[in-house]
Structure 1
Amino acid sequence: MADRPLTLMAVHAHPDDEATGTGGVLARCAAEGIRTVLVTCTDGGCGDGPGGVKPGDPGHDPAAVAAMRRKELEASCEVLGISHLELLGYADSGMAGWPANEAPGSFWSTPVEEAAARLADLMHRYQPDVVVTYDENGFYGHPDHIQANRITTAALPLTGMTPKVYWTTAPRSMMQEFGRVMREFGADWDEPEPSGDAAERSGDAAEPAGNAGPPDIGLPDEEITTWVDTTAYAGQKFDALLAHASQSENIFFLRMGKERFAKLMGVETFVRVHDTTGAALPENDLFAGLR
């Protein structure tokens, strides 16, 4: 431990995911002297193009979108103080059921073991003490998020390492407030389902999640293991989201302004799925038991 810094590795699917789900902890860890490694798995080519042109519409150029989003991702990393950005470079698979799911080179169509081996190489290089990714349903059923979970889960045994492992989540209480705020700003919002196993409904490995119905979003508050106060870094998180300007139509949080954003998004929550430290739960620090 003495010859290297404590290290957080976040494995995300697309440019902008790093800010949405973990911008606060990435900024906080960077401020605390922890090395932060972001692995972005896809190029984001299924995002909006200039002027908000949508995938599949005339004028949408996935390669140009990917190039634009890489610059935005680099700007976000600078805002958050991320130490190292690693790009796996797979093609964005789009939403569940899109033709892009099965396109050659898409992240979803890539064999898990192939992508996991590449991620394991990065884990060997950086020796993370904490690894963060999505849950088995990719939080809301996005194929690339699910694939990020799968390759992270498959990569860890290849390394022989035993970092603390977390899945991002959101408390149902916060999702209810988030829905209220969204409706206040005129956005459509369906309340999360009150029960059920979203991961089970995500479908088997051969099918993109979402085919079996809408997923649950978030968890009951009592099932969340880790609550990290990132209020002091909410401004950085907001600015990191703002850096992804091409996707601003899809980033609802930007509509509420920094002050409102900080009140609603000042805590980031996780489920701890692997630990060898014995740190007591619930915890308020991803590195509890390590420092």
Structure 2
Amino acid sequence: MNDRPLTLMAVHAHPDDEATGTGGVLAQYAAEGIRTVLVTCTDGGCGDGPGGVKPGDPGHDPAAVALIRRQELKASCEILNVSHLETLDYADSGMMGWPTNDAPESFWQTPVEVGAARLAELLHRYQPDVVVTYDENGFYGHPDHIQTHRITMAALAMTTLTPKVYWTTAPHSMMRRFEQAIREFGTDEPASDATPTAGAAETVDDTATAEDTATVEIGLPDEEITTWVDTTAFAGQKLDALAAHASQGDNIFFLRMGKERFTDLMGVETFLRVRDTTGAATPENDLFAGLR
């Protein structure tokens, strides 16, 4: 008899990504007694430093930023009741085109097979029934998100495990609502790794050109979304988890709105199912459909 608990593994790039894209499902499934495992691939060292100092500016210390963000990540996991946190601690690569992309120790420069082998060890250890990560474009073109996708899919190929596999996404109808919210809350600030949705409205980052952003496609047509999980009952936890990443508050657009509006915008989390052995019909409203 197999007494191993049902397990969800979410593989993310930076501290705070766990809350933005999957905070609802992590909290909801934890409340249902499902084991939740978060793997965070980078140290977040390209985030804002104390006082809002930006990467590359005088006084920005990536090591100090990483230490702060590790503590914030732990706090977020406590709020979401994540069962197990695993950190790979690769150096944050920064936004696409930043000089940090080329640092030898950056995640972007890490050979895929090296990162995948480490993640494959965690897959063997936890034997997840469901794995969630990003699509080939990392949802919005961030190098660490793209690399996270690559090592996750490569790690799965290194094992004989057959979990359901999902990529985070957003329906185009939701992206239009995000654009409206961005206009409503009056922000012209560029997106950071904590604000993946802002790319649909203006630019993906402050180094991107119009030509760059025109090629970045975010989300999918509504009819192509396979999985819609209503996590509105856990939106408060999700917002609190985002707020735990206080050092990045300038970059987290969602913290500028109240709980009611946040729940309206972020209460449903959507995914594209890319691997399945259960035969569960789509569209589905449960990542564990066909498993229980």
- Say which SS state the counterpart of residue 141 (structure 1) adopts: coil
| Correspondence 1:1-291 to 2 at 5 A | 2-188=2-188, 191=200, 213-214=212-213, 215-291=216-292
Aligned equivalents of 1:47, 1:157: Cα separation in 2: 32
TM-score, reference length from structure 1: 0.92
Aligned equivalents of 2:79, 2:98: Cα separation in 1: 32
The letter of the residue matching 2:241 is: A
Aligned equivalents of 1:211, 1:187: Cα separation in 2: 18
Deviations 1:33-63 (A, max 9, x none): 0000000000000000011100000000000
- In the TM superposition, residue 213 of structure 1 has moved relative to its aligned partner by 2.0
- Say which SS state the counterpart of residue 242 (structure 2) adopts: helix
Instruction: Return closer, same or farther for 1:191/1:122 CA change in 2, 3 Å cut-off.
Output: closer
Aligned equivalents of 2:40, 2:169: Cα separation in 1: 18
The letter of the residue matching 1:226 is: T
Aligned equivalents of 1:7, 1:221: Cα separation in 2: 28
Aligned equivalents of 1:17, 1:252: Cα separation in 2: 13
Aligned equivalents of 1:12, 1:174: Cα separation in 2: 21
Deviations 1:79-138 (A, max 9, x none): 000000000010000000111111021100000000000000000000000000000000
Aligned equivalents of 1:190, 1:162: Cα separation in 2: 33
Aligned equivalents of 1:184, 1:70: Cα separation in 2: 32
**Structure 1: runs of 5 or more not aligned:** 194-208
Instruction: Return closer, same or farther for 1:133/1:112 CA change in 2, 3 Å cut-off.
Output: same
TM-score, reference length from structure 2: 0.92
State percent identity of aligned pairs: 79
- In the TM superposition, residue 179 of structure 1 has moved relative to its aligned partner by 0.7
Aligned equivalents of 2:157, 2:179: Cα separation in 1: 38
Aligned equivalents of 2:257, 2:14: Cα separation in 1: 23
The letter of the residue matching 1:152 is: T
Instruction: Return closer, same or farther for 1:68/1:162 CA change in 2, 3 Å cut-off.
Output: same
Instruction: Return closer, same or farther for 1:98/1:191 CA change in 2, 3 Å cut-off.
Output: closer
**Structure 2: runs of 5 or more not aligned:** 189-197, 203-207
RMSD: 1.6
